Amino acid sequence: MKNNTWNIIKKECSRFFGDRTMVITTIIMPGLLIYLIYSMMGDFFMKQKENAAPTKVYVENLSDSLKPLLSTLPFEMITENLNGENLKSDLSKKEQDYIYMVFPDDFDSLVSISPSERTELAPNVQIYYNSTSDKSKEAYNVLSEVLGQWEDSNYNLFDINKIEKEGQVYDLASTEDVVRGLFSELIPFLLLMMIFSGCMSIVPTSIAGEKERGTLATLLVTPLKRSELALGKVLSVTFFTVLSGLSAFLGMMLSLPKLIHADEMGVDAAIYTTNDYVALLVIILCTVIILTSAASIISAKANSIKAASSLMLPFMLVILFIGLTPMMLETSDSSIALFLIPVYNSVQSMTQILGHEINIIPIILTVVSNFLYSVLCIWILTKMFNSERVMFSK
Amino acid sequence: MEQEQLICVEGVTKTFRLSRKQQKSENTLKKEIVAVNNLSFTANRGEIFGLLGPNGAGKTTTLRMLATLIAPDSGDAFIDGLSVVNTPEKVRAKIGFLTSELKLEDFFTPNYIYDFFSNLYGIDKEVAMARKKALFERFGIQKFAEVKIANLSTGMKQKSSLVVSLVHDPDIIIFDEPTNGLDVLTARTVTDYLQELRDAGKTIILSTHIFSLVEKLCDRVGIIINGQMTNCGTLAEICDGKSLEDRFFEIYKEKIGGQE
Ligand SMILES: Nc1ncnc2c1ncn2[C@@H]1O[C@H](COP(=O)(O)OP(=O)(O)OP(=O)(O)O)[C@@H](O)[C@H]1O
Ligand SMILES: [Mg+2]
């Protein structure tokens, strides 16, 4: 009779791992789906970039002085046999993805006169485009930018970041830091959501489900201690949810580099050290246990799986809100006391670890406070298992 | 010879609050229902005590209190000297409880469930094996020992539940309508087994509304109507020469007539 917590855990494991559907939907699917979706999205963006035909730019009176510059742009320049009126009306009628550009007849000679000696208005280059077409609009932006810069360089006062000698880098952040920054923004919240959805499908089945089917009552007439039951239940659902969370995490770590094309930047997922991963694992673990033990309380209150799921909805909104706050608050003015707020501290700690700025005190605070909250939840759950009003209300 | 009173129920009362839905379905405006009202009785070691009463009389509620699933509002009951109010955990180790409310997990087989509960009670492996073999043989469970509970018939489920309630070979057995839903053959197996247990010195409390079952099995019987114990004693004392059925109707008329 000494180790009934372990008996409960063993039974929960037989139940969980013996149910193929359960294992597939909560452990295999999250990782696999994330991996497939992110990889496909990455490939899709890549293909779109590669397959896109260059935008057509119809140019009238192409200026000789601009010809070399414009030919370096990824556009198809068409300068012969142009019918200006047709081009303009077609461009306005349907969604068209080309550009129609008109230089004044004597553009080259006009621009050679310095502005102070000029007697007429400055020459005007007309660029017709259709803003409903992404390609046309983007080409317009590129062309006006290039022409503007060319104009500036003709009357140069000063330049910004113009000199590009070999090895000259102006953005001093390393590519790895850029990738880490991206990861630390994307992963914590996504992971939190994945863990929560795992928790949503695992905990109600295990607790509200047993209550609903009358199998919990069978346990309650045995000398099994309520505390052993509560601990056994929470530990086993925590274990399953951790597996679900790790699956999602693995899926993300393997597919995010593909999504953001990290290989083109010369970076792979090995930007993190073993220490980073261990710290992350610890944070994931204490995030899961606080979520599952809180969800256990909600499930024990509910009379059915369905009721438990709907009771969890407001809980989810709170988690969503707390989970989003680190993105809205500036990290620099976050006080250390904020690390006592469950879920917030998890997201914040994960952000720090993935962003490679591990501060040991906040992480310890996160782990210790979450552990204490979980103990409190398990204590409450024990009280609930002891309460006939909770267990046998109809 | 003075008999040892192994079960002693002393003035237990249980009131349930009615939800709106229940108020409607029972067609009443009362906020509360007194399911068991100041009920007392005793059962002696080595006897079968029967609680007889119509539907809704409070039999199941009484047995649930004895099994410590719910606590009485007032009064107490002592099982082998242990209070159900103050030492529920110790009481649970002593009793085997069977009622339709307690279900076995659909996902598992009778064999797995038996071992699981045997472990919960901390039964020695070898003892558990021998006991399981004997019980499974007795109730013909080997045939479906490896079939999931979900796929068993009502009778098979009832047999499995019964066996699971006996994994720790309890001295005190509390069975709520043990033959409900069983065919005559299986019901016979159960009643025969209960008699065997009594002969082995176990104390058994069972509830029923079947007169023949009481006449066949019970050494002493208590009649519950509307949550109150109207009569309690040996079958001969209660029947007073008449058949149990006739006597029951007399008592019932007296009780209900007296209330209206
Ligand atoms: N959890 C509960 N909430 C509200 N009322 C309840 C509850 N449990 C029992 N009751 C009420 O208490 C009364 C006694 O019920 P109980 O189940 O003890 O009767 P019983 O003698 O076992 O009847 P039966 O022969 O039909 O099984 C009934 O009126 C029932 O509606
Ligand atoms: Mg009943």
pLDDT band at A373; cut points 50, 70, 90: very high
CB contact under 8 A, B101 and A224: no
Residue with tokens 């009628």: A93
In three-state form (DSSP H/G/I as H, E/B as E, the rest C), the secondary structure along A307-347 is HHHHHHHHHHHHHHHHHHHHHHCCHHHCCHHHHHCCCHHHH
Could you tell me the distance, in angstroms and rounded to a whole number, from the CA of residue B101 to the centre of ligand 2?
9
CB contact under 8 A, A221 and B69: yes
Query: Quick one: which of B80, B69, B14 has its CA closest to B42?
Result: B80
Higher per-residue pLDDT: A393 or B176: B176
The b-or-e profile of A362-381 (16+ CB within 10 A means b, else e) is bbebbbebbeebbeebbebb
Indicate yes or no: CB of B102 within 8 angstroms of CB of A217.
Answer: yes
Chain centroid, CA A348 distance in Å: 15
Say if the Cβ atoms of A19 and B107 lie within 8 Å. yes
Please give the angle made by the CA atoms of B226, B230 and B235, to the nearest 5 degrees: 125
Tokens 């246990």 label which residue? A289
A185 shares its domain with A316: yes
Q: Could you report the per-residue pLDDT of A251-271, keeping only the tens digit for each?
A: 988 887 777 776 666 665 567
* A348 part of a folded domain: yes
A191 and A135 in a common domain:
no
Residue B259 in contact with ligand 1 by CB distance below 6 A: no
Across the interface, which of B70, B106, B107 has its CB nearest the CB of A388? B70
What is the number of domains present in chain A? 2
Residue B118 makes CB contacts below 8 A (sequence gap 6+) with B128, B131, B132, B167, B168
- pLDDT value, residue B176: 95
Same domain, A275 and A354: yes
User: Buried b / exposed e across B44-70, counting CB within 10 Å, b at 16+?
Assistant: eebbbbbbbbeeebbbbbbbbbbbbbb
> Is the minimum CB–CB distance between A15 and chain B shorter than 8 Å?
yes
Residue A80: CATH number of its domain: 3.40.190
Closest ligand 1 atom to B64 CA: 18
Terminal Cα-to-Cα distance of chain A (whole angstroms): 31
A206 plus A138 within the same structural domain: no
My answer on whether A189 and A316 are in the same domain is yes
B181 CB neighbour count, 10 Å cutoff: 13
Q: Does position A173 have pLDDT exceeding 80, yes or no?
A: no
| The two structure tokens encoding residue B226 | 């509307």
Half-sphere exposure of A93 (CA within 13 A, CB side): 6
Shortest Cα distance, chain A CAs vs residue B36, angstroms? 16
Say yes or no: A128 and A59 in one domain: yes
pLDDT at A333 over 70: no
Average pLDDT over residues B74-94: 95
- Which residue of A lies nearest to B161 if distances are taken between CA atoms? A218
Q: Is pLDDT of A175 > 80?
A: no
Q: What is the pLDDT of residues A124-148, one digit of tens each?
A: 888 898 888 878 888 888 888 888 8
Last residue of a domain, one of A149, A164, A184: A149
Angle at B181 between CA B179 and CA B184, to 5 degrees: 65
Tell me if A394 and B106 make a contact (CB, 8 A cut-off). no
> Cβ(A262)–Cβ(A179) under 8 Å?
yes
Q: Quick check: is A27 in a domain? A: yes
How confident is residue A158, by pLDDT bands cut at 50, 70 and 90?
low
- Do residues A97 and A245 share a domain? no
CB within 8 Å of A68: residues ≥ 6 apart = none
Residue of B69, B107, B164 with shortest CB distance to A392: B69
Sign (positive or negative) of CA dihedral B173, B174, B180, B184: positive
**Count of CA atoms in the C-beta half-sphere (13 A) of A64:** 6
The answer to whether residue A158 sits within a structural domain is: no
Query: What is the DSSP secondary-structure string of B136-153?
Result: HHHTT-GGGTTS-GGGS-
Clarify whether residues A326 and A291 are in a common domain: yes
Percentage of chain A modeled with pLDDT above 70 = 88
Give the end of a domain, one of A114, A149, A184.
A149
- Separation between Cα atoms, residue A59 and residue B130, nearest integer Å: 97
Confidence band for B171, pLDDT divided at 50, 70 and 90: very high
Question: Do A282 and A387 belong to one domain?
Answer: yes
Same structural domain for residues A124 and A185?
Answer: no
Inter-chain CB proximity B106 and A219 less than 8 Å = no
Q: Which of B95, B119, B164, B175 to mutate to test the interface with A (most CBs of A within 10 A)?
A: B119
User: A126 lies in which domain range?
Assistant: 53-149
What average pLDDT does this structure show over B159-185?
94
pLDDT tens digits, residue range B22-43? 777 777 777 889 999 999 999 9
What percent of chain A has a predicted confidence (pLDDT) above 90?
37
Domain B5-102+165-259 classification at class level: alpha beta
Sorted by sequence, the CB contacts under 8 Å of residue A152 that are 6+ apart come out as none
Pair A311, A336: CB distance under 8 Å: no
Please report whether residue A24 resides in a domain.
yes
On whether residue A197 sits in a domain, the answer given is yes
Mutate to test the interface with A, among B103, B169, B172, B175 (most CBs of A within 10 A): B103
ipTM: 0.92
Inter-CA distances, B51 with A209, B38, B183, Å: 32, 15, 22
Q: Which atom of ligand 1 is nearest to the CA of B53?
A: 21
The answer, yes or no, to whether any atom of ligand 1 lies below 6 A from the CB of B64, is no
Long-range own/partner contacts, residues A315-320 (CB < 8 A, 24 or more apart) = A316/A196, A316/A200, A319/A192, A319/A196, A319/A291, A319/A343, A320/A193
Q: Between the CA atoms of A199, A205, A206 and A208, what dihedral angle is there, to the nearest 10 degrees? A: 110
Q: Residue A375: pLDDT band by 50, 70, 90 thresholds? A: very high
Q: Which residue owns the Cα nearest ligand 1 atom 24? A: B55
Q: Report d(CA A93, CA A238) in Å as an integer.
A: 60
Domain assignment of residue A308, yes or no: yes
Do A28 and A128 belong together in one domain? Answer: no
For chain B, the domains span: 5-102+165-259, 104-164
Are A366 and A249 part of one and the same domain? yes
- Can you give the pLDDT at residue B236? 87
